[in-house]
Chains A and B, each alone.
Chain A
């Protein structure tokens, strides 16, 4: 079946602009995660959604970052007033449930802030 999809694959923006990144999880997966991968920083957790529960936002680096998940499926990560340090690859993953279930990753969105 189809895997996790993300769009756009690449996004170049100017400092101070807002961006929206989209994630379509694997059908039937109830848990959805956003991670960020930066050079020298490795993969770091941003936010996690599980069903209708309140999201775990503990990894968001600042209040410029927010995410929502509509209808328990598609998720959008929004970065407001982008800064150069926001440049990174943003990865989305989904899993059947939130316990120790395997997370499957999408191809990522490469964000470049000029």
Chain B
């Protein structure tokens, strides 16, 4: 069964303390991997799309990387406004067009 697993479930960082979130996937064929940010009471906000192993995308303090088995979202020198739930999702290369989501990582950055 295709699965997406995110770790850790929750992460508390001090402002400026860099870290990484993990998304591992077991899918029969990956068409694309997506990272979203979700704030309480809001819909997921798109961050990055990665299509092939070795690909990297960067935006401000965030950098996403992809291997054949997992993706990392690196957060460099985070600020309190980076606090949110980060969701990883995949689309498989098997015809189904819907996203399969992980359960998310709740990030809290303390000043």
Residues of A within 8 A of B111 (CB): none
Q: Are A100's CB and B46's CB within 8 A?
A: no
Q: Are A100's CB and B101's CB within 8 A?
A: no
Q: Are A43's CB and B46's CB within 8 A?
A: no
Q: Are B46's CB and A102's CB within 8 A?
A: yes
Q: Once bound together, how far apart are the Cα atoms of A50 and B102, in whole Å? A: 24
A16 within 8 A of B: no
B108 within 8 A of A: no
B43 within 8 A of A: yes
Among A67-75, A77-85, A103-111, the one that faces the other chain is A103-111
Least distance between A53 CB and chain B CB atoms (Å): 10
The residue that A91 contacts in the complex, of B34, B43, B46, B91, with Cβ under 8 A, is B43
A112 within 8 A of B: no
Residues 52-103 (chain B) with a chain A CB within 8 angstroms:
87, 89, 91, 96-103
Least distance between B97 CB and chain A CB atoms (Å): 4
B16 within 8 A of A: no
Least distance between B10 CB and chain A CB atoms (Å): 15
A-B pairs with beta carbons under 8 A, tally: 56
Q: Are A99's CB and B43's CB within 8 A?
A: no
Least distance between A76 CB and chain B CB atoms (Å): 18
Chain B positions within 8 Å of A, measured between CB atoms, are: 31-32, 34, 36, 42-46, 49, 51, 87, 89, 91, 96-104
Chain A positions within 8 Å of B, measured between CB atoms, are: 4, 31, 33, 35, 42-45, 48, 50, 56, 58-59, 91, 93, 98-100, 102-108
Q: Can you spell out 26 A-B residue pairs with CB atoms less than 8 angstroms apart?
A: A33-B97, A33-B98, A33-B99, A35-B98, A35-B99, A42-B101, A42-B103, A43-B89, A43-B99, A45-B100, A48-B98, A50-B97, A56-B98, A91-B44, A93-B99, A99-B31, A99-B97, A100-B32, A100-B91, A103-B34, A105-B36, A105-B43, A106-B43, A107-B43, A108-B42, A108-B43
